[in-house]
Amino acid sequence: MAASSETKGEGTLRKAFGGVLGFFILLLIGAFAFSIRLFSVIKYESVIHEFDPYFNYRVTQFLTKNGIYDFWNWFDDRTWYPLGRVIGGTVYPGLTLTAGSIWWLLNNLNIPLSVETVCVFTAPIFSANASWATYLLTKEVKGTGAGLTAAALLAMVPSYISRSVAGSYDNEAVAIFALIFTFYLYIKTLNTGSLFYATLNALSYFYMVCSWGGYTFIINLIPMHVLLCIVTGRYSPRLYIAYAPLVVLGTLLASLVPVVGFNAVMTSEHFASFLVFIIIHVVALVYYIKGILSPKMFKVAVTLVVTIGIAVCCAVLAILIALVASSPTKGWSGRSLSLLDPTYASKYIPIIASVSEHQPPTWPSYFMDINVLAFLVPAGIVACFLPLSDASSFMVLYITTSVYFSGVMVRLMLVLAPAACIMSGIALSEAFDVFTRSIKLQLPKLFESPSGSGDIDSTQDEVVKVDNKSATDKSETAPKERPSKKNRKKEREIVETTIKKPLNAKRLLVLPLEASSVAILLLIIFGAFYVVHCVWAAAEAYSAPSIVLTSHSHDGLHVFDDFREAYAWLRHNTDVDDKVASWWDYGYQTTAMANRTVIVDNNTWNNTHIATVGTAMSSPEKPAWEIFNSLDVKYVLVVFGGLVGYPSDDINKFLWMVRIGGGVFPHIREPDYLRDGQYRIDAHATPTMLNCLMYKLSYYRFVETDGKGFDRVRRTEIGKKHFKLTHFEEVFTTHHWMVRIYKLKSPKNRIRGKSKKSKSNSKTGPSNSKRHSNLRKNPW
């Protein structure tokens, strides 16, 4: 007894040590996740990136200045002129409310951080939280060691870094944390059957609905998993407790968010949850009846119910089908349809198809974004089946659906990243488990018999079930684990490497000593490659703020700050109420930085309005002037990259303007702008192309730069080199000619008594001709 209590004390000491070590590892993982995302702050400055984050930043500014009631009821008249936009009802408030509350809390603690700083650093903080949530989720699925590995992998996976770098103040920054945390609470409820966790699950789901439109993934994946459990015979009361309260509370909470509103009960995206809600009640009732009846009576009951039930089901199904089929899209929104049918967007909604993030990914982008994990995921899937539990079946379902959706849209690689990390964490931790166990078991044989290590015959494919709570082996006479193993970051905790006593029925998988040590070494090198790649991707590929560009040349680093230069010019040199027209990409930045009203912006909710601007850009000067004048536009902004070789300029996007404009206004035809199906701007371009507004505004006076008008992006000389603008005047061009701002010329005054030249010539005689010859030529 004394010996066992001694070893028990030793066991608890080892457990305590393992717990503390695990805590410090988690802390380090969080710090690492935070710091790897700071490259852009170091290389450039603490600035908000890209386009969408500027809108979120502006909304957060409004929230912090005016308070939450004004935010809920905010009608924005500085955008989509003359329509305006109801911000309170069309924005997902989670991100702005989170950042706003962090700012408010810090300010009340007398830490006066500016709103911009809070916005820039929200994403890295929440990525640290996401790693901790991954640890919790994987711990529920497999165990602590797998949890730590998965958390470490998620902290640096490049796909997640790309959307959560410091400065990328977008919905996904908090949404991925909410996603993983919701899944963790669901699995926890499933494992424990506690209603308390079910409540927390619903609240976390509410946070996810507030944050991102991708919440439909959760509300479809969880019913799918419930259905899978029922079909594979894994129904249990815990499943009911995990699912039914979530549906009711979740639907109610989702309806609370203004963006979702009644869509929570009316759109097809939620019908799966209701259907499975009904199914689980039927199954629960069946199990209950089965429990209280004898088998014979139960058979009677089944035959009776089935006959009646089928008739009722058919009636209900017919009603449902009639209801759904009456709507043209069968109740699905365009976004969801484009996910389910990848070719839908290109046929029906060109705006969705034109966004580069919505294109399918290429094979190399998988390797770039999840790197080594692409190889570990299949191993993780196999490990999930040995043994299969509710939680691991959920993980398998999660990875398969996210792989499918990531194949449809590059942007959804982000949803694949946590699943891949968890699977790889499970695989790596199981592998390390086997290898270290093999070494540990064979080490005493190595020391005892100098004639070389005796091979323990590897048994059949039975794998020991990893037990979370088991103590370490007491009868083990092997020396303690080598201290070097404890310090390795990816090493599993000591409490995890359990060796069951030989009395157990399960046999151990033990591999030869040399093979296991070589394998451990190779796995560590594997991990090292992953870390190197992730740090490189974070530093080089995903840290560009895209509002400031740099290039390295022989005489040092050039910084292109043209965008902010143009917006600052607009801010300081135009009236507050002036309207600025540009392509929709720059709308958010213009309202946020230049503080001027824009016609269209990145929200792209009104296709006709965008098509109007697109038509104006594709028309000759006079019709374009008339369109812009009807919209009260004063300034037109154009982005031009031909002087410096910036490839994402408006001339490269011009064909999309033509397509979108032509979709609504049929007189704009795409073939008019192409010569033999090719898009050119040189001397062989079509006259429609050479006369359109976009061409003229981009290349006005361009020939003065180098005498020949050589466009560095298209790599040709331009077609029409010397021309004057009749209806626009140039007011500002930035330093590198990247942004060009034009003003609409006001129409010429009509002077009383003198009529127009074209009409008067026919009516008046030669007596007026002298007067006309003295007048300046009327440009209209």
Binding site for another protein (CB under 8 A): 193-196, 198-199, 202-203, 236-238, 240-241, 244-245, 248-249, 251-253, 255-256, 262, 265, 284, 289, 291-293, 296-297, 300-301, 303-304
Cα–Cα distance for residue pair 198/186, rounded to 1 Å = 7
Instruction: Answer yes or no: are the C-beta atoms of 525 and 147 closer than 8 Å.
Output: no
Residue 21 or residue 249: which is nearer to another protein going by CB? Answer: 249
What is the closest distance, in whole angstroms, from the C-beta atom of residue 97 to another protein in the complex? 15
Residue 133 or residue 254: which is nearer to another protein going by CB? Answer: 254
What is the closest distance, in whole angstroms, from the C-beta atom of residue 311 to another protein in the complex? 15
Q: What's the token pair of residue 488? A: 């390795």
The letter for the amino acid at 295 is P
Cβ-based neighbours of 58, under 8 Å, separated by 6 or more: 588, 591, 592
Residue 289 or residue 456: which is nearer to another protein going by CB? Answer: 289
What is the closest distance, in whole angstroms, from the C-beta atom of residue 264 to another protein in the complex? 9
Cα–Cα distance for residue pair 392/465, rounded to 1 Å = 13
What is the closest distance, in whole angstroms, from the C-beta atom of residue 244 to another protein in the complex? 5
How do 716-717 and 597-598 pair as beta strands?
A: unpaired
The letter for the amino acid at 561 is D
Cα–Cα distance for residue pair 48/121, rounded to 1 Å = 10
What is the closest distance, in whole angstroms, from the C-beta atom of residue 227 to another protein in the complex? 18
What is the closest distance, in whole angstroms, from the C-beta atom of residue 56 to another protein in the complex? 25
Residue 258 or residue 444: which is nearer to another protein going by CB? Answer: 258
CA distances from 424 to 146, 403, 713 (A): 9, 14, 42
Rounded (to 5) percent helix, strand, coil in the chain: 65, 5, 30
Segments of 484-625 assigned E as strands: 549-553, 556-560, 579-581, 597-598
What is the closest distance, in whole angstroms, from the C-beta atom of residue 336 to another protein in the complex? 22
**Helix 171-192 with 115-141: angle, nearest 10 deg:** 30
3-class DSSP state of 243: helix
Cα–Cα distance for residue pair 158/385, rounded to 1 Å = 28
Residue 279 or residue 456: which is nearer to another protein going by CB? Answer: 279
What is the closest distance, in whole angstroms, from the C-beta atom of residue 180 to another protein in the complex? 22
Residue 194 or residue 517: which is nearer to another protein going by CB? Answer: 194
Phi, psi of 520 (to 5 degrees): -60, -45
Residue 94 or residue 662: which is nearer to another protein going by CB? Answer: 94
What is the closest distance, in whole angstroms, from the C-beta atom of residue 288 to another protein in the complex? 10
Residue 113 or residue 300: which is nearer to another protein going by CB? Answer: 300
What are 559's strand-pairing partners?
A: 550
What is the closest distance, in whole angstroms, from the C-beta atom of residue 195 to another protein in the complex? 4
Query: At which residue do the structure tokens 């701007």 appear?
Result: 681
82 preceded by a cis bond (ω within 30 of 0): yes
Residue 16 or residue 256: which is nearer to another protein going by CB? Answer: 256
Residue 237 or residue 378: which is nearer to another protein going by CB? Answer: 237
What is the closest distance, in whole angstroms, from the C-beta atom of residue 88 to another protein in the complex? 16
Instruction: Answer yes or no: are the C-beta atoms of 443 and 397 closer than 8 Å.
Output: no
Cα–Cα distance for residue pair 727/619, rounded to 1 Å = 13
What is the closest distance, in whole angstroms, from the C-beta atom of residue 196 to another protein in the complex? 5
Please give the helix or strand (H or E) that residue 75 lies within, else none: strand 75-76
Phi, psi of 48 (to 5 degrees): -85, 140
Cα–Cα distance for residue pair 53/72, rounded to 1 Å = 19
Neighbours of 673 (CB within 10 A): 24
Residue 300 or residue 325: which is nearer to another protein going by CB? Answer: 300
What is the closest distance, in whole angstroms, from the C-beta atom of residue 302 to another protein in the complex? 11
For the chain, the residue count is 780
The letter for the amino acid at 664 is V
Radius of gyration of the chain (CA): 33
Residue 251 or residue 389: which is nearer to another protein going by CB? Answer: 251
The secondary structure of 466-522, three-state, reads CCCCCCCCCCCCCCCCCHHHHHCCCCCCCCCCCCCCCCCCCCCCCCCHHHHHHHHHH
* CA nearest to 172, candidates 28, 38, 357, 363: 357
Residue 193 or residue 407: which is nearer to another protein going by CB? Answer: 193
Cβ-based neighbours of 470, under 8 Å, separated by 6 or more: 495, 498, 500
What is the closest distance, in whole angstroms, from the C-beta atom of residue 390 to another protein in the complex? 12
Residue 176 or residue 190: which is nearer to another protein going by CB? Answer: 190
3-class DSSP state of 710: strand
